[in-house]
Amino acid sequence: MAGPGFPPEGRYRTRRALGEGASGRVWLVEDRMRPGTQLALKELNPADTDDPSHEESLRREFATLAGLRHPNVVEVHEFDSADGSGLPRFTLEFIEGRHIVDAIAAGGPEVFVELAVEALRALAFIHDFDLVHGDLKPANVLVRDRPKLGCRLVLVDFGFSRTTSEETVEAYRARGTLPYMAPEVLRGEGAGPRADLYSLGAVLWEATFGHPPVRVDGTDLTRFIQAVIEGRRSRPDRPTGPPFPRRP
């Protein structure tokens, strides 16, 4: 398959776009060397080729994931350059499933507890490596349709990850996705393990109540930031519908 914006055909036959973000764009592909094998392929966005830091970030993400082996963390395969365009890219496992909020909506309270525990285990694993994910949000916390080594939840997109020991200007830049960013990140203090825990909490809050703990008003970001930093958020009643019926 090919179309506007699709990478040129080469080793990988492009099936469809999976997403695009600050650290690159992702495609569902089939490996011609292994017919029938579906992979995700992440490549540098052509618009970012003039800035060496974007390629460095992509290479760093691959190196980070290549050093991690855990069923709750997405697995990477090969790093190379695209035929024709020369864009740096890497392949990783394709996760067949849905993001955590949709999975909890479909599965109910029992699934909530199971997936929350898996998410905490995944964070404990990467934090033991002095690594912070830096951008936990529903789209980056996926749930497999079929378990892998007994695990269903998987963390993806480590484009904003870093070690807690970094003391660079970049390490203290506020990066992430606004509704899930921790107060200390918004204050410019950098992201540590507790920032990941805050982000996961915001994701689980959304799975319970249908929205993050503090909603973003695009017309007044200052108020949003102040509300997060000050801990001002609504205290809604337990939902009457799934996943958590109101107790009698």
In DSSP notation, 72-95 reads TBPPEEEEEE-TTT--EEEEEE--
Which of 1.10.10.60, 3.20.20.70, 2.40.30.10, 3.30.200.20 is the CATH number of 12-93? 3.30.200.20
Query: What is the pLDDT, as a whole number, of residue 246?
Result: 43
Q: Report the topology of domain 97-230.
A: Transferase(Phosphotransferase); domain 1 (1.10.510)
Residues recognised as catalytic: 135
Only one residue has tokens 């009698």, namely 248
Sketch the domain layout of the chain as residue ranges.
Answer: 12-93, 97-230
Q: Are 198 and 187 in contact (CB under 8 A)?
A: no
Q: Would the pTM of this model clear 0.85, i.e. be above it? A: yes
| Cis status, amide bond into 243, omega within 30 of 0 | yes
> In this predicted structure, what is the pLDDT of residue 14?
92
Question: What pLDDT tens digit does each residue of the chain (248 aa) get?
Answer: 455 556 656 789 999 999 887 678 999 999 988 888 899 999 998 888 888 888 999 999 999 999 999 999 999 999 999 887 889 999 999 999 999 999 999 998 889 999 999 999 999 999 999 999 999 999 999 999 999 999 999 999 999 999 987 655 454 466 789 999 999 999 988 889 999 999 999 999 999 998 999 988 777 888 889 999 988 877 777 666 555 544 43
The strand ranges marked E within 46-176 are 76-81, 88-93, 97-99, 131-132, 141-148, 151-155, 162-163
Q: What is the pLDDT at residue 138? A: 97
Going by C-alpha positions, the residue among 90, 25, 92 that lies closest to residue 59 is 90
58 touches 24 (CB < 8 A): yes
Instruction: Indicate if 97-230 has the same CATH topology as 12-93.
Output: no
Print burial letters for 136-174: b (CB count within 10 Å at least 16), e (below 16): bbbbbbbbbeeeeeebbbbbbbbbbbbeeeeeeeebeeb
Looking at residue 168, what is its pLDDT?
54
* Euclidean distance between the first and the last CA atom of the chain, given in angstroms as a whole number: 54
